[in-house]
């Protein structure tokens, strides 16, 4: 027998016993309720019979007093007759209910017998009432009624009706006693059954459970021990295959698995030698490949550095004309002042006067300021053109933004107003040259997105703020033409550009994103055609605040 069949047998037996006890309990309860109702109906009949018997003398006494007082005797007779009819109707209804509740096979015959007895009592009662009517009529006609006539009338009721009522009461009480005796016997049987069934059910269930569990536990112990031996590598051990249940099937499966493992172990031993030789060969090949990969990686890193520097030089190339213009103005101013000083010195070979001396000092001062302006422009170009060392540290955003804005001033000036709001933000972790390259590219792109000639209507705004704990976000906003939706998802692709051939390489934004990613940051964009574009750079705050300009 399989484990499933054993479990189902246990379940069926347990459910059958529970159902048996439940049915017996229900039947006992049902019989108790019916018996209680039956006893109640019999008691009601006895009470009605007793009431009918006991009401006779008050009725006769009422007739006697009515004769003496001249009261309405027919009314008293009618009321008594109607009351007796109602009592008989109630008794008949109670007997019918009793028959319906009776659990005896001959309940119909008993009901017919009781109905016949009730009919005889009813007829006797009607005959006695007629005698009472005749006596009452004699009294109304003025005939002489003997004093003992009323007593004889009462004695006649006792002889004609009372005895039958007493016999009916005795019969009902006998039936009640029989019902009580039967109820006691059934209660005693149910009590014994209730005491007997649970122990028998418990013994039967425990026996079946032990018959199922004991062999199963033995088989499980054998299976566990065998599985542990197989698990420790003893593949020669075979588990006992007893019976045809699921445990035996499992044992056979374990034995097949052990046989397959033995075969696999032999195969493994055959392949070990071959695998060792292969590993040695592949190890040598991997070492050679790793050396070549390291060399290629080094060349790629150098190429990437050159690409970043080339993009920066390309940006400087685009700025050449503007930077030259920026330098040309202060140079012309310096040359003009120096020429004036030269002419004054040649013209006044002697010591100049105080007024002439003051004019010369003013010219020298103005020439110095112009030279200082050229120096600052050249310094910004030097920072941008410096080779990368990839070093990271604390970077002050204000100086980087202002430097990029100064280098892109010639691109911004004819197109929009430039607004910078970077005060109060903490230094970020990055590289000043690379971050300046990114900001310069973004500012130039923002300027190119705006048509020249409407400076007051357009704006390029660079804003920096703490966007989250430990993070700073720099936004480069413009009011230019915006980026079409079909191009927005591609602007960071290498070599993708919407500029004419020869104007852009398409590497600027791709390089910018790579630079920001290398600085552990993020570069995102939002744009709406006709309303402008916003680039957001998110960088971590520098933890070392002691040397904020170290990487700049």
pLDDT in tens, 63-113: 767 666 666 667 777 777 777 778 778 877 877 777 766 654 455 666 666
- For residue 458, pLDDT over 80 is answered with yes
Lowest mean pLDDT among 146-160, 171-185, 281-295: 146-160
Average of pLDDT values for 332-355?
69
Nearest to 88 by CA among 125, 40, 132: 125
Average of pLDDT values for 24-48?
77
Q: How confident is the model at residue 473 (pLDDT cuts 50, 70, 90)?
A: very high
- For residue 506, pLDDT over 50 is answered with no
Q: What is the pLDDT of residues 251-263, one digit of tens each?
A: 777 777 777 877 8
20-24, 270-274, 450-454 — which one is most confidently predicted on average?
Answer: 450-454
245: left (phi over 0), alpha (psi -120 to 50) or beta: beta
- For residue 505, pLDDT over 50 is answered with no
- Residue 460: its pLDDT value, please? 95
Distance CA 66, CA 150 (A): 12
Sheet holding 459-468, edge to edge: 417-421, 459-468, 471-478, 532-540, 522-528
pLDDT averaged over every residue in the chain: 76
- For residue 319, pLDDT over 60 is answered with no
Task: Give Rg (Cα) of the chain.
Answer: 61
Distance CA 29, CA 44 (A): 23
- Residue 9: its pLDDT value, please? 72
Higher pLDDT among residues 552 and 163, named by residue: 163
Neighbours of 494 (CB within 10 A): 13
- For residue 367, pLDDT over 90 is answered with no
Percentage of the chain lying above the pLDDT 90 cut: 13
Distance CA 133, CA 135 (A): 5
Task: Could you please state the CATH topology (level 3) that the domain comprising 388-552 is classified under.
Answer: Heat Shock Protein 90 (3.30.565)
Q: Which residues neighbour 531 within 8 Å (Cβ) at sequence distance 6 or greater?
A: 479, 482
- Residue 522: its pLDDT value, please? 93
- For residue 537, pLDDT over 90 is answered with yes
* Eight-class DSSP state of 426: P
Q: What is the pLDDT of residues 222-237, one digit of tens each?
A: 777 777 777 777 767 6
- Residue 480: its pLDDT value, please? 92
Lowest mean pLDDT among 141-145, 288-292, 296-300: 141-145
Neighbours of 307 (CB within 10 A): 15
Q: How confident is the model at residue 465 (pLDDT cuts 50, 70, 90)?
A: very high
Are 169 and 72 within 8 A, CB to CB?
Answer: no
Distance CA 358, CA 362 (A): 6
Q: Which residues of 225-238 are buried (b: 16+ CB within 10 A; e: fewer)?
A: ebbeebeeeebeee
Q: How confident is the model at residue 550 (pLDDT cuts 50, 70, 90)?
A: very low
Return the structure tokens found at 539: 């960088």
- For residue 517, pLDDT over 60 is answered with yes
Average of pLDDT values for 488-505?
64
How does strand 459-468 pair with strand 428-430?
Answer: unpaired
Higher pLDDT among residues 118 and 446, named by residue: 446
- Residue 103: its pLDDT value, please? 53
Residue with the two structure tokens 């006697």: 64
Q: How do the domains of the chain map onto residue ranges?
A: 3-213, 388-552
């Amino acid at each position: 027998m399989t484990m499933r069949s054993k479990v189902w047998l246990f379940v069926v037996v347990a459910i059958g016993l529970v159902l048996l006890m439940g049915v017996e309990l229900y039947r006992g309860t049902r019989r108790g309720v019916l018996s209680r109702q039956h006893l109640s109906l019999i008691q009601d009949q006895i009470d009605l019979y007793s009431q009918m018997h006991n009401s006779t003398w008050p009725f006769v006494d009422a007739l006697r007093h009515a004769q003496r007082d001249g009261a309405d005797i027919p009314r008293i007779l009618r009321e008594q007759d109607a009351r007796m009819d109602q009592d008989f109707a109630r008794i008949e209804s109670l007997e019918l209910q009793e028959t319906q509740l009776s659990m005896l096979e001959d309940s119909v015959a008993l009901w017919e017998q009781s109905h016949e007895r009730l009919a005889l009592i009813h007829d006797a009662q009607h005959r006695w009432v007629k005698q009472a009517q005749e006596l009452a009529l004699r009294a109304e006609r003025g005939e002489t009624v003997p004093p003992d006539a009323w007593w004889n009338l009462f004695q006649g009721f006792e002889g004609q009706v009372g005895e039958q009522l007493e016999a009916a009461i005795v019969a009902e009480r006998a039936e009640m006693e029989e019902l009580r005796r039967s109820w006691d016997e059934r209660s005693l049987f149910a009590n014994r059954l209730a005491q007997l069934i649970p122990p028998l059910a418990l013994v039967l269930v425990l026996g079946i459970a032990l018959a199922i569990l004991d062999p199963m536990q033995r088989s499980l112990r054998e299976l566990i021990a065998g599985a542990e031996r197989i698990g420790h590598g003893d593949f020669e051990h075979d588990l006992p295959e007893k019976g045809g249940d699921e445990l035996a099937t499992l044992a056979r499966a374990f034995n097949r698995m052990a046989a397959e493992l033995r075969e696999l172990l032999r195969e493994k031993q055959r392949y070990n030698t071959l695998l060792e030789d292969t590993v040695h060969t592949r190890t040598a090949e991997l070492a050679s490949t790793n050396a070549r990969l390291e060399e290629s990686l080094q060349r790629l890193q150098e190429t990437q550095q050159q690409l970043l520097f080339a993009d920066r030089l390309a940006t400087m190339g685009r700025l050449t004309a503007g930077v030259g213009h920026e330098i040309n103005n202060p140079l012309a101013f310096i040359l003009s002042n120096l020429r004036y000083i030269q002419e004054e010195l040649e013209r006044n070979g002697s010591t100049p006067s105080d007024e002439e001396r003051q004019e010369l000092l003013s010219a020298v001062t103005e020439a110095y300021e112009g030279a200082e302006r050229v120096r600052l422009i050249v310094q910004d170009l030097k920072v941008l053109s410096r080779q990368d060392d990839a070093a990271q540290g604390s970077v002050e955003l204000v100086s980087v933004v202002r430097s990029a804005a100064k280098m892109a001033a010639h691109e911004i000036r004819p197109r929009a107003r430039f607004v910078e709001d970077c005060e109060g933000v903490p230094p970020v972790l990055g590289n000043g040259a690379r971050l300046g390259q990114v900001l310069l590219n973004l500012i130039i792109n923002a300027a190119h997105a705006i048509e020249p000639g409407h400076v007051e209507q357009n704006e390029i705004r660079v804003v920096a703020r703490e966007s989250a704990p430990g993070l700073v976000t720099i936004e480069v906003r413009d009011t230019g033409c915006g980026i079409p939706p079909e191009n927005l998802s591609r602007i960071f692709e290498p070599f993708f550009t919407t500029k004419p051939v020869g104007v852009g390489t398409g590497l600027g934004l791709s390089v910018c994103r790579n630079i920001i990613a290398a600085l552990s940051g993020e570069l995102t964009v939002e744009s709406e055609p006709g309303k402008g574009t916003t680039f957001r750079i998110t960088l971590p705050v520098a933890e070392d605040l002691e040397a904020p300009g170290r990487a700049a």
